[in-house]
Amino acid sequence: MFEGFALDWIDVGDVVLRVRHGGSGPPLLLLHGHPRTHATWHRVAPLLAANFTVVCPDLRGFGQSSSPPDVTDHSQASKRAKAHDCLLLMEALGHERFMIAGHDRGSYTAFRCAMDHPERVERLAILDGVPILEALERCDAQFAEAWWHWFFFAQPDKPERAILADPIAWYGGSAESMGLENYADFVAAVTKPETVRGMLGDYRAGLTLDADHDRADRISGRTLACPTLVLWSLDDDLEPLYGDVLAVWRTWAPDLRGHGIDCGHHMAEEAPEQLAAALSAFFCAPE
């Protein structure tokens, strides 16, 4: 995986992040979702590396990055904390301003990074996500049936016990669909109790502090200051849940565009060429 990329562990203060980086051109930060690691980008990052300096970290609490101890308000797992990690990581690699794309849970960190630090983020791509507050406010029986795990994962103690009884059966995945090395990296992550706890913290913060941060932005009238691309998997839940996905985003992103991609949820693994082409077109577009 990641031929020509460097693999480093970078101390950003509260945590140490495992990161792959390589390529040349403007800096582009790629953030994975749950329960993946940065290795989910192994089919996409090399396609982007011809035009971008590509940076792929494990988010705090995921993969082989460290996970700080839980605190009562879950701030250690908040998207604001992870967004701050992203800034410090990119600074450590010499990038003051950068573009960012995030998938699934990583899309919430990418969104928070662009909202909190508009002077640092030039362009934003959201993959398979809507703002957390929008998802919670629109929650109905259909959402609860499809995304019940949001609420189960946010409970204390019991999700860890359920998952760690048989992590591979719980999460699924295969070497055939994911690629041998990506799958091995995924297995190493989801079978580690500390990492499972860290990943669940992302959901616990999502129902509390992260939603509060979104709500404060809405009350203050803050919106995304950068051009924003939203992509979603056509064989997944966003269109059935929300219909017009871009309509959900319009109050948050004045400069918005997007479309669906014909694949399942893990688009970086299932449709890497389509995804890389869509990201390249957006991030290379003139101002």
* Active site (catalytic) residues: 104, 265
Tell me how far apart the alpha carbons of residues 195 and 60 are, in angstroms, rounded to a whole number: 9
- What single letter denotes the amino acid at residue 120? R
Contacting residues for 212 by C-beta, under 8 A, at least 6 apart:
none
**CA 182 and chain centroid, separation:** 17
Does residue 35 have a cis peptide bond before it, meaning omega lies within 30 degrees of 0?
A: yes
- Rounded Cα distance, 27 and 154, in Å: 34
Secondary structure of residue 32 in the 3-state scheme: coil
CA distance 230 to 256: 8
d(CA 158, CA 152): 8
Calpha distance 39→186 (Å, rounded):
8
b/e 247-286 (16+ beta carbons within 10 angstroms → b): ebbeebbeebebebbebebbbbbbbbeebbebbbebbeee
d(CA 62, CA 197): 9
Q: What one-letter code names the amino acid at 169?
A: A
Residue indicated by tokens 């996409």: 44
Cα–Cα distance measured from residue 105 to residue 128, given in angstroms and rounded to the nearest whole number: 9
> Cβ(17)–Cβ(9) under 8 Å?
yes
